[in-house]
Structure 1
Amino acid sequence: MKLSAVSKAVALGLSLAYLAGCSTSGKTTDAGQGTDMSSGSTYGTDSGNANGAMDASAIANIPSVFYFDFDSSEIKPEYRDALATHAQYIRSNPSVHVRLEGNTDEWGTREYNLALGERRAKAVAAFLMDQGVNSSSIETVSYGEEKPANPSSNKDAWSENRRVELKYQ
């Protein structure tokens, strides 16, 4: 079967439109920008100064608390764009250091929760280092269940307490 030039052009245009539609998943857009899936707000890396370095005001509205599922140290996909933006900020400001504070809910032994909080903090540290952040800019600490964001003992509180807080020093 022979296709005319017009048919080929239409087929090519439809293919390109399909591919363009597939590439806009809502997670990564252009120039390192992303969407915070929990709030729908867009943030990115385009608020730097003339030499490309980001200033403190550019990072102020980026989420810095990252929540985890029960008994997990796996970074949720919805936090990857925010963490990548933090990584760019840290890379572009060599004097900046961060402390990653791993936390858990009250379930489990004290020792287990300290270890889980450490795994969570180290997972975030590994992500930042994969993004080019120097390990000397990162400190990890685990508080286990000792510093709950929500001291209640219910499902909502437990979810709030399973987190890593990224704090600039």
Structure 2
Amino acid sequence: MMSEETQQQESISMQKEQISEQEMASIKTTEVEEPQVARLTEKEKEEIFKDIHFDFDKYDIRDEDKPTLKRIADWLIEHPDVKLIIEGHCDERGTNEYNLGLGDKRASTTKQYLVTLGVSMDRIQTVSYGEERPLCTEHTEECWQLNRRAHFVVIEGK
């Protein structure tokens, strides 16, 4: 003979199964259309998201880089599902601490400029790598100029 407790447990289990079956029957399946995700082509990366460069020990946007930033802002406005990371970089001259601060100012100034062009502030993150990620390792002015930059990393939406 079943104990009263065992009978109660079986009754509860059967009720749960019935409820689950009823819930499943009432759920309508609808197909959800996947949102369009902006896919960035290599050509777009090369043409739109070019690094911008800075003068020695400076973090102001140079006039020759403003058209690049305008293209980036326009593209971001057309692709609202995309976010951006701006990396601030420096050449090897100066202390690590100083260059991290300068890289941060370069990334932040670049972000602010994009915001003035209409890009939402919450879509842009900044990070400073200081002198830690050089593009060029020679000890020449030409090489140092390449390293004084803001680099753009596109984070595509889902």
TM-score normalised by length of structure 1: 0.64
Change (3 A) 1:56 1:100: same
User: Which residue in the other structure is 2:103 paired with?
Assistant: 117
Tell me the amino acid that sits aligned with residue 107 of structure 2. Answer: A
Asked if the contact 1:64–1:167 (Cα under 8 Å) also holds between the matched residues in 2, the reply is no
Which structure has more RCO (C-alpha within 8 Å, separation ≥ 6)?
Answer: 2
User: Which residue in the other structure is 1:150 paired with?
Assistant: 136
Asked if the contact 1:101–1:165 (Cα under 8 Å) also holds between the matched residues in 2, the reply is yes
Tell me the SS of whatever aligns to 2:48: coil
Asked if the contact 2:49–2:72 (Cα under 8 Å) also holds between the matched residues in 1, the reply is no
Alignment of 1:1-169 (within 5 A): 56-57=40-41, 59-60=44-45, 61-169=47-155
User: For 2:101 and 2:137, how far apart are their aligned partners in 1?
Assistant: 20
Listed as ranges, the gaps of 5+ residues in structure 1 are 1-53
| Pairwise CA distance, 1:152 | 1.5
| Pairwise CA distance, 1:63 | 4.7
User: For 1:92 and 1:163, how far apart are their aligned partners in 2?
Assistant: 25
TM-score normalised by length of structure 2: 0.69
| Pairwise CA distance, 1:56 | 3.7
Tell me the amino acid that sits aligned with residue 125 of structure 1. Answer: K
The CA deviation string for residues 45-103 of structure 1, in whole angstroms up to 9 with x for no partner, is xxxxxxxxx97458432252001000000111011111111101111211101110000
User: For 1:80 and 1:55, how far apart are their aligned partners in 2?
Assistant: 24
- Give the total of aligned pairs: 116
Sequence identity percentage: 35
Listed as ranges, the gaps of 5+ residues in structure 2 are 1-37
Tell me the SS of whatever aligns to 2:107: helix
The CA deviation string for residues 115-153 of structure 1, in whole angstroms up to 9 with x for no partner, is 000000011100000011011110100000000010112
